[in-house]
Amino acid sequence: MNSVRIGIVGAGFAARYHVACLRRVYGAQVEIVGVTSARAESREAFGRAHELPVFEHAAAMLGQVDVLDICSPPYAHEEAILAAAAAGKGIICEKPLTGYFGPAGADGNYRGDRDSKRKMMEETMARLGRIAGAVRKSGTFFGYAENFVYAPSVQKEREIIGKTGAQILRMAGEESHNGSASPTYGIWRLAGGGSLIGKGCHPLGGMLYLKRIEGLARNGRPIRPASVSARTHQLTRLPAYRDAGFIRTDYHDIEDYGFMHVVFEDGTVADVMTGEVTLGGIHDYIEVFANNHRTRCNISPVGVVDTYNPRGGQFKDIYLVEKASTQEGWSRAAGDENFTMGYQGEIEDFVTCAATGAQPQSDLDLALDTTAVIYAAYLSDENRGAEVDVPRV
């Protein structure tokens, strides 16, 4: 495949940076065939803004693409994946891979926070089995869009682990900010959960990846997650919560803080913190404590640019950093967020792998393990933190 033809599903936040990154790929030729989304006005506006053809639905686009790039909300991922796999098309899928979205016909009255987490885990595992079966049967390319894997800081740690034969003993990681901008976030039946799945999937995916790299470097076998203990909280819905106006609060039925403690097959551990109650810009890192080194992988902020602005209005046309709620005072600004947060490396890897048939760094197995850990974590939380074995697809 000399040139990779890509069709984008979804016309929101993620689709915007996918287009920006696709247009900077150098390892293969990219043709963005077009975009589709659920709402006519959003796809038309996106098409105009990015000078792309617009399709009414994915089925209309599928015949003209090599890869379907799925940037729709989590509830819509499975349908698009199955359609692409059935048509023998490559797949890029945004995080989280999938999840549980309520019983058939669930409406605005559905409350995921009150539903059985065992049922959710079992149904999610069945869904993962369907996805894995269809993708493997089609033998098509699959890239799981976990940008933490591709952050330059995490790729440097990958090199350190690979070349020194390090054993990771413990890791800590976080993704937090002051609340997602997506209107579908905060509603379990559309997002599949709250902080644990929406944000926790990032540091979790990054840490599962590094443990995988350690095992592959040592004896050609990934080291996989074995069990998880977790707690979640709804801090902005506490009766005692005092809203100062800086943190999003309008969640329907999801947690806005979560903690997961993962134990790997070899007994080593990873701790994930994630929440919607963090001011000061998006807060993303993984810290690795190994037997021969220690690395702090900064993902955001990365400390490339520190700028001081005495009057907010001066910077009104200047992007500083994701989720900064002010531009006044000192800001740790992003030089090139698409690069430092891993989006550019991710899209580069996906396109070149789709063109050559190589295996991407962030693949289906990582997506499956990440999702299984998170739903086992929800079950643990239902039992106030009791340890749960991570099911396998």
Ligand X SMILES: NC(=O)c1ccc[n+]([C@@H]2O[C@H](COP(=O)([O-])OP(=O)(O)OC[C@H]3O[C@@H](n4cnc5c(N)ncnc54)[C@H](O)[C@@H]3O)[C@@H](O)[C@H]2O)c1
Both tokens of 231, joined, read 């707690």
Q: Which is nearer to ligand X, 199 or 224 (CB)?
A: 199
Q: Which is nearer to ligand X, 73 or 215 (CB)?
A: 73
How would you classify the pairing of strands 283-290 and 294-300? Answer: antiparallel
Which residue ranges make up the site for ligand X (CB under 6 A)?
A: 9-15, 37-39, 42, 71-74, 76, 94-95, 145, 147, 182-184
CA 126, distance to chain mean position in Å, is: 21
Q: Which is nearer to ligand X, 14 or 286 (CB)?
A: 14
Burial of 152 (0-12, 13-18, 19+ CB in 10 A): middle
Q: What are phi and psi of 196, to 5 degrees?
A: -55, -45
Q: Which is nearer to ligand X, 177 or 224 (CB)?
A: 177
Q: Which is nearer to ligand X, 57 or 156 (CB)?
A: 57
Residue 83: CB minimum distance to ligand X, A? 11
Residue 260: CB minimum distance to ligand X, A? 17
| DSSP structure class, residue 6 | E
Scored b (16 or more CB within 10 A) or e, 353-377 reads: bbbeeeebbbbbbbbbbbbbbbbbb
How far apart are alpha carbons 208 and 202 in whole angstroms? 10
Residue nearest ligand X by beta-carbon distance = 12
Q: Which is nearer to ligand X, 95 or 127 (CB)?
A: 95
Q: Which is nearer to ligand X, 175 or 214 (CB)?
A: 175
Q: Which is nearer to ligand X, 150 or 264 (CB)?
A: 150
Query: Which of 238, 207, 258 lies closest to 382 in space, CA to CA?
Result: 258
How far apart are alpha carbons 33 and 8 in whole angstroms? 8
Residue 145: CB minimum distance to ligand X, A? 6
Residue 68: CB minimum distance to ligand X, A? 11
**How many Cα atoms occupy the beta-carbon half-sphere of 134 within 13 Å?**
19
Residue 383: CB minimum distance to ligand X, A? 27
Residue 167: CB minimum distance to ligand X, A? 29
Query: Which of 370, 296, 299, 366 lies closest to 338 in space, CA to CA?
Result: 299
Residue 7: CB minimum distance to ligand X, A? 11
Residue 235: CB minimum distance to ligand X, A? 21
Query: Which of 193, 187, 192 lies closest to 107 in space, CA to CA?
Result: 187
Alpha helix stretches (DSSP H) within 139-200 = 147-150, 152-164, 188-191, 195-198
